[in-house]
């Protein structure tokens, strides 16, 4: 179950109550026909709120359902995401269907990870590769001329819908997308995700991607999708590397906006562990075995004691002082249930080394990654800590060996680490 971004206490309005009722009716439907009827009504109310920018109406309904009806909360969240990332567009007397697509780029480096404007020639090259390897025939595409950090993406369903409308019109007209000036500053991380955003338009009920187009009987659809992804990667990564000098990159498959963003958020977490250990060993001129890792679960006030994220602090074994830290947020159905350090720890049958898998719990994945990176001294606090941050710089506080929340700081004789920790 996805969680709301922050707690709100507004009493549901009449329109919010309508959203709540329609989400619940969708779940209670006794047939697919009835379910689609309720979904159409729900989409119509959501569309009205997004067109008028009334995000608070949607948020109030989501908050109420999150507390009182988790299944209906998921149903409303799915509908809100779909209604904001896709639409039917009437333009110049013709009807189009539009989809907002995100292209996640995972990047890690000791230097700054670029964001911001993408040159026109590079934009043309990336567009050509999308047409050649990913998009279905007869689609039109508009790429936003920027690499977005997570802080620069639309923050609400209404903002997402507004961006989609703007980009979809540009795709239909074959004109460039113009962005707002003065985007929000990007926080520096060792590993982070950047996003290319695109609007793809097609005829009503037409396919958006190649693997969605009608295929001869017996076609392996999963293989067609995987082949398109492989071609996209091999042709596009060299261009992305030129766009992001000094960075190692991994290019994910373009997907509908919210799915792509969640996948990017999840896939950057293990890379953050690799990047942190590499950074510390190079900066401090030590082996990974000289480091200790302290893992603690953290919960926000509105989560009722449920773990929202793990924070991983790194210290020098010789003195125990925390020198660095990273955050591993939990998403969707991921559970923060505590496990013993060696519980169900998967190991490669040939090498005996720990391996990471999607079947592991988050804490098991973290411990596997730490061991994979050479850190054997790992402490896992059973206590769940409150989400606390430094009053001066806003950085998260981490639990040390004694379960005290402290600021992670480099030794005085070492160059300062990035202010913000992923």
- For residues 418 and 112, what is the distance between their CA atoms, to the nearest angstrom? 10
DSSP letters for 6-71: S---PPP-HHHHHHHHHHHHHHH-SSHHHHHHHHHHHHHHHHHHHHTT-HHHHHHHHHHHHHH-HH
Distance CA 402, CA 195 (A): 39
Confidence band of 327 (pLDDT split at 50, 70, 90): very high
Instruction: Note the maximum CA span of the chain.
Output: 72
| Nearest-angstrom CA–CA distance, 25 and 119 | 48
| 401 in any annotated domain | yes
Helix H or strand E segment including 81: helix 70-85
Gyration radius (Cα) of the chain, Å: 23
pLDDT band at 338 (very low <50, low <70, confident <90, very high): low
How far is the C-alpha of 241 from the C-alpha of 231, rounded, in Å?
16
415 in any annotated domain: no
**Structural domain boundaries enclosing 105:** 92-265
Domain co-membership, 114 together with 259: yes
Same domain, 63 and 107: no
Domain count, the chain: 3
Band of the pLDDT at 4, cuts 50, 70, 90? Answer: low
Q: Is residue 420 part of a domain?
A: no
Question: Pick from 48, 47, 51, 41: which is nearest to 20 by CA?
Answer: 41
- Same domain, residue pair 327 and 234: no
Between 85-99, 238-252, 321-335, the lowest mean confidence (pLDDT) is in 321-335
Q: What pLDDT score does 221 carry?
A: 85
Asked if pLDDT for residue 5 goes beyond 60, the answer is no
At residue 355, the pLDDT reads 53
Which pLDDT tens digit goes with each residue over 175-233?
A: 999 877 666 777 778 899 999 999 999 999 999 999 998 776 667 888 989 999 999 99
In a domain, 7, yes or no: no
291 and 331 housed in the same domain:
yes
75 assigned to some structural domain: yes
| Residues 224, 301 within the same domain | no
The answer to whether residue 299 sits within a structural domain is yes
Q: Is the pLDDT of residue 402 over 60?
A: yes
- Whether 82 and 97 have beta carbons less than 8 Å apart is answered as no
Q: Last residue of some domain: 199, 231, 265? A: 265
CA distance 175 to 173: 5
User: 107-121, 289-303, 353-367: which range is least confident on average?
Assistant: 353-367
Answer yes or no: are the C-beta atoms of 185 and 152 closer than 8 Å. Answer: no
Whether residues 195 and 327 share a domain: the answer is no
Indicate if the pLDDT at residue 347 is higher than 80: no
Residue 168 has pLDDT above 80, yes or no: yes
Q: What is the pLDDT of residues 213-226, one digit of tens each?
A: 877 666 788 898 99
- For residue 159, being part of any structural domain is answered with yes
Average pLDDT score, the chain: 87
* Mean pLDDT score, 141-152: 93
- Quick one: 298 and 402 in the same domain? yes
Side-chain-side CA neighbours of residue 173 (13 Å) = 12
186 and 68: one domain?
no
């Amino acid at each position: 179950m996805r969680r709301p971004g922050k707690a709100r206490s507004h009493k549901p309005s009449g329109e919010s109550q309508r959203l709540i009722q329609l989400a619940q009716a969708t779940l209670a439907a006794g047939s697919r026909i009835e379910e689609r009827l309720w979904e159409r009504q729900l989409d119509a109310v959501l569309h009205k709120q997004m067109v008028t920018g009334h995000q608070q109406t949607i948020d109030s309904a989501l908050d109420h359902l999150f507390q009182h009806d988790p299944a209906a909360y998921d149903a409303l969240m799915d509908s809100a995401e779909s209604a904001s990332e896709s639409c039917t567009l009437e333009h110049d007397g013709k009807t189009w269907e539009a989809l907002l697509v995100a292209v996640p780029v995972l990047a890690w480096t000791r230097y700054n990870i670029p964001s911001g404007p993408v040159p026109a020639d590079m934009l043309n090259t990336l567009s050509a590769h999308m047409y050649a390897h990913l998009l279905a025939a007869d689609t039109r595409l508009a790429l936003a001329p920027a690499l977005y950090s997570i802080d620069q993406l639309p923050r609400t369903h209404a903002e997402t819908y507004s961006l989609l409308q703007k980009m979809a019109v540009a795709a239909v007209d074959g004109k460039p997308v113009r962005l707002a000036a003065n985007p929000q500053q990007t926080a520096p991380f060792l590993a982070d995700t950047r996003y290319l955003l695109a609007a793809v338009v097609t005829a009503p009920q037409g396919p958006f991607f190649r693997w969605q187009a009608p295929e001869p009987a017996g076609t392996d659809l999963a293989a067609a999708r995987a082949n398109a992804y492989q071609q996209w990667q091999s042709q596009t990564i060299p261009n992305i590397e030129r766009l992001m000098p000094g960075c190692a990159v991994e290019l994910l498959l373009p997907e509908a906006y919210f799915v792509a963003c969640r996948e990017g958020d999840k896939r950057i977490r293990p890379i953050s562990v690799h990047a942190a250990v590499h950074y510390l060993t190079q900066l401090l001129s030590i082996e990974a075995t000289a480091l200790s890792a302290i893992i603690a679960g953290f919960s926000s006030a509105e989560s009722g004691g449920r773990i929202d994220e793990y924070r991983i602090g790194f210290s020098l074994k010789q003195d125990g002082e925390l020198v660095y830290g990273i955050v591993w947020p939990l998403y969707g159905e991921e559970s923060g249930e505590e496990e013993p350090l060696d519980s169900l720890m998967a190991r490669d049958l040939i090498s005996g080394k720990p391996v990471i898998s999607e079947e592991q719990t988050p804490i098991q994945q973290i411990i596997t990654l730490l061991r994979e990176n050479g850190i054997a001294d790992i402490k896992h606090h059973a206590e769940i800590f409150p989400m606390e941050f430094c009053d001066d710089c806003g950085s998260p506080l981490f639990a040390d060996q004694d379960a005290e929340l402290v600021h992670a700081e480099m030794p005085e004789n070492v160059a300062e680490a990035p202010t913000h920790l992923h």
